[in-house]
Amino acid sequence: MSLMNKRLFANGFTGHYLLFVPLLVYLPLSFLYLFAVPAGESPDEPGHLQCIEQVSLLGRLPEIEPKPEGDAWWSRGRIISGRMCYHMPLYYLVAGGVQKVTATAVSEPIHYEFPPTNPNFGPDPALFEHPVKASLWTYTEPIHLLVLRFLSILLGGVTVWASYAVARRLLPGQQMVALLAGLLTAVWPQFVYLSRSLNNDSLATALSVSILVILLDVQQPQRFVWAALLAVLALFTKLSVAFTLAAMLLVWGLEFWRLPQQRREYIRTLLICLALFVGAFLLLYLTPTLWRHFTQGSGAFSSVSESAREWTYWREVLQLTASSGWVRFGWMNVAAPQGHAYVWWGFLLGTAVLGIWVIGRFSQGGNSRLQLLICGIWLLFIILSYLQINLNRLQPQFRFALAAIPILTTWSAAGWWGMVKGNGRLATLTTASIIAILFFYNIWVVFSVIKLAYPWW
């Protein structure tokens, strides 16, 4: 096993039993949201399901079929159409295969017909008229959709792992920081809610955060091959995460400049990476459907909205981003009080600023500055990608920035560790208190926010 593989295996999996704690917190919360939120009441879920069904039913790459019909974005002919199928298809291929195998095994029809559209949508948060359930724990969807939701939850677990793994790399030996970083991710309401929805963000985010973990294993030239492979897969999942490729190349350039004694090895790995990129481009260009997806997706957000020239527009983007980064469910119309979002972001960013100083001051070895720079590059590319989307249209949805979570939670956890460093009992009490509060906050969200929006249980 290569040095890179040994290090990834050792740092990420072997012996780090504490990783199971945030995963054991994450799983019941994700299942709670799974039962509480009805089918189709997640961003673009009906459209994504049409793309999945094209793979499982027709055995082909998804196309924009059926064509969107209707003027309003929420009209049934538009929302339940192939309008989302301009995206790159890797997620749909994976999910379609899982759906096909599951539906065949349990002898279920693959096609899922959404309930009637709610004629009062707007005043009512629900887009569909869902059947009444006997209780919260009554499951009404087909088994193959349940398995697809399990797949999404599994992919969400990669982000929980990545938060733990990023902390292990930035502050090696400080297990309490890694534990708290993983736990903060596991109880982040918006993240956990999205983790059970059917959309391509789940695979795109899992691939992206895995690349981040690899990039933070600095001074290991061969790791760029793995990062390049995952970046290609991310590109074939969703073009909005193409920043991972740019981030990888920029980090390669930084290390190539800083480590002249290893430049031959860095050049060798770059050539392998470039071969992967050329192969991916040829596959795109020589496959008409893939090339159509690529050109449609790359042009979807290229224009600039007139509204983007107004300060009030960006103030709304900022407010809704804060809300959608905390609790803004459904079709961005089921939200907790805005003040809750401000408290969360104040808590998270305030401790993160302190955490950056703590990492630079107390990290072992001479790589902490480079690792912090890599984190800064990563966040910068996410911000630029997010701004590009909102320059085109009002889409202040934090799901487009989920790949930032491992860095934010790690920096926040490091900040808390810096405040209680040297007092093990206080550190344990602080961690337990923060997580208990946020865990029960999720329970409150389900029974006080979601229950009012979808009163069918």
User: Following CA atoms 254, 259, 264, 265 in sequence, which dihedral angle do they give, to the nearest 10 degrees?
Assistant: -80
With tokens 């007092």, the residue in question is 423
Runs of H (alpha helix) within 171-303: 175-186, 189-194, 201-215, 223-235, 243-258, 263-286, 288-299
Question: Would you say 32 and 137 are in contact if contact means Cβ atoms under 8 Å apart?
Answer: no
CA dist 447 → 281, 324, 345, 433, 455 (Å):
48, 19, 23, 21, 10
Q: What is the DSSP code (8-state) at residue 328?
A: E
Which of 73, 81, 76 lies closest to 51, judged by CA?
A: 81
Q: What is the number of residues in the chain?
A: 457
Per DSSP, 310 falls in state S
Q: What is the pLDDT along the chain (457 residues), one digit of tens a residue?
A: 444 444 444 444 444 688 999 999 999 999 999 999 999 999 999 999 999 999 999 999 999 988 999 888 899 999 999 999 999 999 999 999 999 999 999 999 999 999 999 999 989 999 999 999 989 999 999 999 999 999 999 999 999 999 999 999 999 888 999 999 999 999 999 999 999 999 999 999 999 999 999 999 998 999 999 999 999 999 999 999 999 999 999 999 999 998 889 999 999 999 999 999 999 999 999 999 999 999 988 887 878 888 888 999 999 999 999 999 999 999 999 999 999 999 999 999 999 999 999 998 877 666 888 999 999 999 999 999 999 999 988 899 999 999 999 999 999 999 999 988 767 788 888 889 999 999 999 999 999 999 999 988 8
CA 369, 164, 36, 153 torsion-angle sign: positive
How much is the pTM?
Answer: 0.93
**Residue 21 and residue 178: Cα distance in Å, rounded?**
11
